[in-house]
Structure formats: structure tokens, C-alpha cells
Structure 1
Amino acid sequence: MAEEAYKVPRMKLGSQGLEVSAQGLGVMGLSAFYGAPTPDTKAVALLRHAINSGITFLDTSDFYGPETNELLLGKALKDGLREKVELATKFGLVTSEDGKLGFRGDPEYVRSACEASLRRLGVTCIDLYYQHRIDTTVPIEVTMGELKKLVEEGRIKYIGLSEASASTIRRAHAVHPITALQIEWSLWSRDVEEYIIPTCRELGIGIVAYSPLGRGFLASGTKLVENLEHGDPRKSLPRFKEENLEHNKIVFEKVQAIATSKSCTPAQLALAWVHHQGDDVCPIPGTTKIENLNQNIGALSVKLTPDDMAELEAIARPDFVKGERYWDVITTYDHAETPPPLSSWKQV
């Protein structure tokens, strides 16, 4: 499939006015978690190729690296490129001195994290600022109160949440409109369709689908697991464990067969399925290779009929894949409730 000539369309993300490329780029893997960091020269070249190809919605976090991913993106956005992109970053995941993962949403931390991200990115304003994970010790109203102040001060334009429950989304949205929810959504992970997606659509919140290729599994199946570098944390994910992998590979094999019949790659088919979920959904696949980026752009030109969608969804039923998405230490929307507001937290 020819990818190079395809023009990436634009879309409205949420109902607050943010416009982004209809497909974004998850920048994380260039610096963290998925093998050794990509050399800066090569990473910057990929980022600039993405921008020049019309992929202008770039997603990072202060946790990636940590911090080095934001520095990398800041380097890539020099020479006048900042005005061409929609820049998203996140706060809220922290690591203690003993290496334990934690979560923070208190106002003091929200502000200091934002100021630090602005410095690393080399910008004066962040387009979309997400709470990366919900701090279940702080009422969401309190966290949102500080984010609202940052909007009023012009440090951020729009507010997002990541892996938030339906009730937390509602409570946050009541303080200040949420522009986007970032959530894992793919043929590999469809549990969000029951409550999370309908809540976002009711409230006019855009949906940013991370890991739309199942952390690479929907692109290459078991070959992915076989070829992961030493230290790649995906090796320890429950879905990639031997006791689950033999069952889970069925999804990839069937997706691969349909992709062959449609003259596209499995990755393009899986991404196309996400794109066909609606004009309020923007997937943000990540990659370290320009050829994969071009292939992902090609997914935008894959057309799926209602029968195609039904066939894919019959293969990848929400209850089919074995194993949890994450390890127990990572909070997901299933564990994202915050306490009710307390009188001592009157800051909103």
C-alpha cells in the first residue's frame, strides 16, 4: 500500500476547540521502556519526518526516561517547528528513592511538574496537559482546581486525563471541561467500550487511544515477544506470558489473514479499526522507525465496511484475550476513584 502520498487529515479533539492530526505519535518508545533509547539524531529525524508528513499531535510525559523524552521532543521542536504541532505531555507518575512507583495529584506537585515540563520542552505553553494516572489520595476536584488555574494563567491550553474511571471523569469535568481522555483501546483491549467510551461521548470528551497496536503485538504477533530486547518490560506483561501467549496469538493470526485479503498489513488493519470507531477518536501509535511511521499513516486509507468491522470484533471479543493489560503496580481506570472533596481541600 502506498503511504507516502496520503495526506493526514485533521480532526477536532473534544469539544473545547483543540484541533489535531487524525493520527498522533506516541513518542515514549524513543527514550524509554521499549529497549535501548534511540540515538538523539535518529530520533529527531523521525520526529521531524512525522511533522512534515502531517503527524502533528505529539504525545510525551515527564515519566518517560524519566524526563529525557520531553528533552528530546524539545530538541526536535527547535527551528520554528513548535507552531506546527499540538504538544501533549503528562504528570502524576513518580518514583520514590527506593524505586517504588507512586502517584501525585496535589496542587503543589501539579504546578511544579508543569513548570518543569515547560522548561524541558522549551515552550511557554503546553497544548494538552494530562494527569497521567489518578492519585487516589487526593480528590479529583482538588487536582482539577490547580489545572484550571494553569489554564487561566496560559501555561496550558487544554486539560486531559489518562486511565480515569467514568465517575472520576464526570467529577473532573464538572470543575473544568476535560478535552481528552487517553486510554488503551485496540482489538487487543476493548474493555473500555462498556462505560468509559460512552461517558466521554456523553460529555463531548475526545478519545486518545494509546497502544492501538497492542504494544506491537498486533503488528507482528509472537515474533514481537521472541525478538524483544533484554530488559524490555513487555516480556513480563501478563498477556505476553507463555501461559497466555499461545491463546492470544489467535487474534493476531486472524487479523493477519484479513489484512492479507485487504492488501494491507496487520498493523494497518488494526489501526484502521481504531480509526473507524468514530471521528472523536485519535490513535497515537509509537515507533522508532520511519518505515513503520509511513506504514501507520497508510492505515488512514484502509477502508473497512460494516461487515469488516463485525468480523474483526467477533474475532477480538472484549473477553477473549487472556491476561491483564498491566502489572499490579500500575493503576488503571479500574482503580482510579478518588476520595470525595474534604472541607480542608477547598481550593476549587
Structure 2
Amino acid sequence: MRTTTLGRTGPTVSAIGLGGLPMAGAYGPAGDPAGIVAHALDLGVTLFDTADYYGRGAGEEVLGRALARRARPGHGSDVVVATKTGILHRDGGPPGLDGSPEHLRRACEASLRRLGTDRIGLYQLARIDPRVPVEESMGAMAELVAAGKVGLVGLCEAAPATLRRAHAVHPVSVLQTEYSLWERHVEAAILPACRELGVTLVAYRPLGSGLLAGRRTDPATLPPGDFRHRDPRFAPGNLGPNLALADALAVLAREAGAEPARLALAWLLAHDGVLPIPGTLDRAHLAADLGAAELRLDEGVLKALEELLPPHGPAGERYPPGLLATVDRG
């Protein structure tokens, strides 16, 4: 497995991480999350990402138990566990946000317990709380680093100006946001800011929730708990055009002699400072995804991909309106 560093100074991790959303049941029943974690470790994955709001804490518990069977998260391990906080579940409407120092301290202690460790490798603020200056949030995270409870800190879905303000308080190692062949908003200003500051861009949903991997999905067949029921890109009127884009990618992948998922992830890896974290519970899909780390794309293939899936993106917004309002905050 190829490796990279988180931020300017490390640690060194696998060039592709494993996203933990499926382990919390976001795509339906989680099946055997311990098995997929063990398989990922066997294949060289050393970065595992989750969040305290995945399954209301279940995602962290599942990951912690799975890693405890094979490697100890935190001290003395080459595995880096990344988790996030700052999003609050509500019974109705969009989730709430809390980036207050008080919440961050409480949430960190709860995550440590659920993960079964005394140190979180990478702790990330999942969204920027408009009621709390980012300097206050980052100050609390810096205190967690000083206390030895956290190794590195990161932000998610932050605008460049916010990233710079946070970085002035304490080094930000990671900015996590959606980035893929068809979601390329970061290329305008976010990715350049990350490179300027030495921040690794961690790309979530790098396969468009499965569509870019050639996994055709009929929303009518999805289990009730699958979040794609609320994803605008799977909605009637949008799904058809998006499947057509995915089919065109599959044709190009066949011509290149690679699976669509491998091609889409290799395209991301061709961009300096980008680390994708696809999520899956399928061992064959995982092996195909990780194979992207060994695939080098020539200029002809890169150009064909750029022309196939232009920067204006797919049909439909990234999220429903309430969630969309929380991303890329300045």
C-alpha cells in the first residue's frame, strides 16, 4: 500500500483510508464491520475514519471493538483512528451544530470511551458552528492535544478563510470535505488553501455514494435506513442523468483496463495532498478500491476523465437544503 503523511509532519498513513459511515448502518444493516476492518488491515489500511454522530455513537463503538481485535488504537500502534464531532442529532429537521469548547471537551471524553483508547489520532470538527468563533473551537482542540488526548486536529467543510483563522491558532493537519470526479468544488479555492498551509485534504464520498463505482442503485430497493433516500442526487429527475455519467465512466474504465471505482480513486490520488476515504462493507469492493493506490494514470486517461465529468458536477445538490447550509462555512 502506498503511504502519505497527514499534514506536513505526519504521521504516515495509507494513501487510502476507510470511511466508517457504512459501519453505523447508514446504507442499511451493517453486516460484519469487524470483518471488513480486519480485511482492511490485512490489505495495508492504517487510517480509519468515523464520527460520534454516526449511528449516535454506534460507529465509534463498532470501530473500537473491531480494531481491538487486531491493533490498539492510539499509543503504540501504526493505526490512526480519526473521529469527528460537532453535529447534533435532532428528532426532526436538520441536525444542530455545537463547536463550543464545552461540547468539544465532553465529546472527546465520550469518544475515547467508545473507541476504547486513551488517545484519538485525529480529532476533527465536523462543521463550523456559526455561533462560535472558530478560534474558540480550535483553542479547545489545542488543549486536548496538549493534554495528550488527541494527536492531530482537523476541520470539515470549512471555507479557506476559516481554515486560515483556525490554522493560526493551532496547526490544522486535515480538512475533510466531499471531493470526487463529479464533486469538484474544492478545486477553486479550498484545495489551493490546503496546499498553501500544508493541510491534507481528506476526500469523503469519493465514489459518489457508490454511483461512480458502477454500482447501479434503484432507491426503491434501498432499506428504510439508507440515507440515499434523502440524497438529492438519487432523487427522481436527477438519478437518470447521474447514472448516464456513471455509465460513461464505466466505459472509459473498461478501455483503461480497470474497475470504475479504481479509476475514480486513482484520479483523486493523482492530485497532490488528497487522501480519499471510501466506505464499504464488501470485501471485493474494498480490494478494488485499494487497488487504486497502485494505479498510475497517464495524461491521456486523466484528460479523458476531465472531459467526461466536467467541474459543473452531477444533477442535484450535494445535500438537502438544511444540511447544505452547513457546508463550506466562512
TM-score, length-scaled by structure 1: 0.89
AA of the residue aligned to 2:24: S
Aligned mates of 1:230, 1:334 — CA distance in 2: 25
Q: Which segments of 5 or more consecutive residues in structure 1 lack a partner in the other structure?
A: 1-7, 338-348
- Structure 2 match to 1:191: 185
Task: Identify the match of residue 50 of structure 1 among 31, 40, 45.
Answer: 40
SS at match of 1:84: coil
Q: 2:251 aligned with 1:261, yes or no?
A: no
Q: 2:159 aligned with 1:169, yes or no?
A: no
Task: Identify the match of residue 297 of structure 2 among 291, 300, 304.
Answer: 304
Decide whether aligned partners of structure 1 residues 99 and 119 sit closer, same or farther in structure 2, where only a CA change above 3 A counts: farther
Instruction: Check whether the contact 1:132–1:161 (CA below 8 A) recurs between aligned residues.
Output: yes
Aligned mates of 1:205, 1:320 — CA distance in 2: 24
- Structure 1 match to 2:153: 159
Aligned mates of 2:217, 2:134 — CA distance in 1: 41
Matches within 5 A, 1:123-272: 123-220=117-214, 222-223=216-217, 225=219, 227-272=221-266
Task: Identify the match of residue 60 of structure 2 among 36, 46, 70.
Answer: 70
Decide whether aligned partners of structure 1 residues 292 and 334 sit closer, same or farther in structure 2, where only a CA change above 3 A counts: closer
Aligned mates of 1:183, 1:224 — CA distance in 2: 26
Is 11-20 or 49-58 further displaced after alignment?
Answer: 11-20
Instruction: Check whether the contact 1:165–1:333 (CA below 8 A) recurs between aligned residues.
Output: no
SS at match of 2:323: coil
Shift of 1:333: 6.6
Shift of 1:135: 0.7
AA of the residue aligned to 2:136: V
Decide whether aligned partners of structure 1 residues 242 and 295 sit closer, same or farther in structure 2, where only a CA change above 3 A counts: same
Shift of 1:226: 5.6
Q: Which segments of 5 or more consecutive residues in structure 2 lack a partner in the other structure?
A: none
Aligned mates of 2:253, 2:145 — CA distance in 1: 44
Q: 2:96 aligned with 1:106, yes or no?
A: no
| CA displacement, residues 41-69 of structure 1 (integer Å, 9 cap, x when unaligned) | x2111101111210110000000011011
- Structure 2 match to 1:343: none
Decide whether aligned partners of structure 1 residues 335 and 190 sit closer, same or farther in structure 2, where only a CA change above 3 A counts: closer
Aligned mates of 2:187, 2:199 — CA distance in 1: 14
Task: Identify the match of residue 51 of structure 2 among 61, 72, 75.
Answer: 61
| CA displacement, residues 105-159 of structure 1 (integer Å, 9 cap, x when unaligned) | 1111000000000011010100100001111110000000100101111100100
- Structure 1 match to 2:319: 326
CA RMSD of aligned residues (A): 1.7
Decide whether aligned partners of structure 1 residues 335 and 185 sit closer, same or farther in structure 2, where only a CA change above 3 A counts: closer
| CA displacement, residues 76-104 of structure 1 (integer Å, 9 cap, x when unaligned) | 12245021311100010112465651000
Query: Percentage identity across aligned positions?
Result: 41
| CA displacement, residues 243-299 of structure 1 (integer Å, 9 cap, x when unaligned) | 122222232122111110111111111111111112x21110000111111111112
> Aligned residue pairs: how many?
326
SS at match of 1:171: helix
Aligned mates of 1:222, 1:149 — CA distance in 2: 45
Shift of 1:231: 3.5
Aligned mates of 2:220, 2:259 — CA distance in 1: 20
TM-score, length-scaled by structure 2: 0.94
